[in-house]
Amino acid sequence: MTFLNNIIDNDKKIELYKFEGDNFINLPKDYHNDDAVMVCFLDLETTGLQKDCKIIEFAGKVTAIDKNTGELLGIVDEYESFNDPEQALDPVITRITGLTDDVIAGHSIDWEAVSRVLNQSDIIVAHNAFFDRGVMDRHLPLSKEKVWACSFNDINWAQRGFNAGGQEILCIWHGFYYESHRAMYDVDALIHLVTHNTDSIDNAVLELLVNAAMPIYRIAAIGSPFHTKDLLRLRRYRWDPENKYWWKNVSLNEIEIEKEWMSDAIYNGIFQGKVDEISVTDKYKS
């Protein structure tokens, strides 16, 4: 499956609609519901993808999600802001985001407002949580204490019939498009992607919430031979330059599978790596 079956009409035509995030229900900031979990969907635009990149736009929106059904109950709070990095933007970043030096000049993020939004949230969700959390943890100590989830990794899109996990293409396959690569537009689209009813498929946000509450395990290829680096990279291992080993996060059920693969492909029959449990608050830390 690529496109959802229910967006293909009888003439085998697909008509996409533009989603602009203007149909969300606004709830009071003191909203409370015992059946709701508060989820902050967050997105950053930055000066690049390097470890020391600077934020040029922040957007966060706190949603109330029914933890039993996955229904989006409404929006509790939100904050967005440009941020002047005090350096000229790379033309590539301007082309991707549409932001220019003049647009963001003189703006700064109100970190107290960001803290307010994060404090209301049980979980923070980004579509590439490794990146967004890495940047946020550098700027705000509160971020390090929160539970983060990743809508790319914590939802099994392949099992749902989608062979790519990029947010834009997933939205298109679900029948809508949006103005991408601006922080709040990306946030609104992500909320809609994981919460709207697709009729034939269980609500994706429920899967995300379940996985966010589960510990994960980091398996590391300690002392792996240099010539195995391409095998590890193809299997989606990441390089840790500080500790000098390849690693990736896996679920409890995947540990033995990875150990067996590593034994055969990396260590000539005997597993020599290590496995550590990662607590829910330490997921997606750089």
Beta-ladder partners of 148:
124
Fold of 5-212: Nucleotidyltransferase; domain 5 (3.30.420)
Taking only the tens place, the pLDDT of each residue in 160-199 is: 888 899 999 999 999 999 988 889 999 999 999 999 876 5
Task: Give the Cα separation of 149 and 46 in Å (integer).
Answer: 20
Neighbours of 240 (CB within 10 A): 13
Match domain 216-280 to its CATH number in 1.10.260, 3.40.50, 3.30.70, 1.20.120. Answer: 3.30.70
b/e burial code for range 39-61 (CB count within 10 A of at least 16 → b): bbbbbbbbbeeeeebbbbbbbbb
Beta-ladder partners of 201:
none
The structure tokens listed for 40 are: 């902050």
Say what the pLDDT of residue 199 is: 57
Structural domain spans, the chain? 5-212, 216-280
Taking only the tens place, the pLDDT of each residue in 96-130 is: 999 999 999 999 999 999 999 999 999 999 999 99
